[in-house]
Amino acid sequence: MSETNESERYKAGMAVRRQVLGDAHVDRATAQMTEFDADFQTFITEGAWGSVWSRPHFTKRERSIVTIALLAALGQDDEVAMHVRATRNTGATKEDIKEALMHVAVYAGVPAANHAIKIVKKVYAEMEAEPEPRK
C-alpha cells in the first residue's frame, strides 16, 4: 500500500500496532512483506489494529490479556509468544497472564492451557535474559 493510499484506519492501526508490538517487530514484518501478503498485512493493520485494538473501552493491558487467552485457546503458539513479548508495552503482568490461562484451562481445556503455559514460561525466560528493547 503506498503512503498516498493509506486509509485513516490503516494509519491508526499502524500506530497502535507499533505501540503494542514495538517498532522493531513491525519494521521486520514490513520488510518481509511481499506482493503476495501485502493485502493481508493491510487487512490486519486496518481490521485488528485499526478497528479493534484502537477501540476506547478496553485498555491495551486488558486487550493483551484477552488476546493471549484467545490465542492460547486456539493453539496459536507463535501468536501467543508474540503477544507475551508485547506485554512489555501493554502493561499486562505475569499475574494477569497466569489468571488468563487459568480461564483457558476451564473454558478451552487443560491441554490448551498447559501448552500455552510452556510457551509463556519460555518467552518470559527469554525476555528476562535480554535487555529491555528501546522504544
Question: The CATH number of the domain where 127 resides is what?
Answer: 1.20.1290.10
Helices and strands counted in the chain (H then E):
8, 0
- The answer to whether residues 46 and 76 belong to one domain is no
Cell (9 digits) for 70: 484467545
Q: pLDDT digit string (tens) for 63-102?
A: 999 999 999 999 999 999 999 999 999 999 999 999 999 9
- The answer to whether residues 62 and 119 belong to one domain is yes
Structural domain span for residue 93: 58-135
Number of C-beta neighbours around residue 30 at 10 A: 12
- The answer to whether residues 27 and 80 belong to one domain is no
Domain boundary among 56, 78, 98: 56
The DSSP line for 68-104 is HHHHHHHT-HHHHHHHHHTHHHH---HHHHHHHHHHH
- The answer to whether residues 64 and 80 belong to one domain is yes
- The answer to whether residues 86 and 68 belong to one domain is yes
The whole-number pLDDT of residue 134 equals 59
Domain boundary among 28, 56, 84: 56
Query: Is the separation of the CB atoms in 103 and 95 below 8 Å?
Result: no
How many C-alpha atoms does 130 have within 13 Å on its Cβ side?
A: 11
- The answer to whether residues 84 and 132 belong to one domain is yes
Predicted TM-score (pTM) of this structure:
0.89
Averaged pLDDT, 55-68:
97
The whole-number pLDDT of residue 5 equals 66
Averaged pLDDT, 104-133:
94
- The answer to whether residues 89 and 34 belong to one domain is no
Domain boundary among 40, 56, 72: 56
The whole-number pLDDT of residue 6 equals 84
Using pLDDT thresholds of 50, 70 and 90, give the confidence band for residue 2. Answer: very low
The whole-number pLDDT of residue 35 equals 95
Q: Kindly state the helix (H) or strand (E) to which residue 9 belongs, with its residue range.
A: helix 8-21
Averaged pLDDT, 107-124:
98
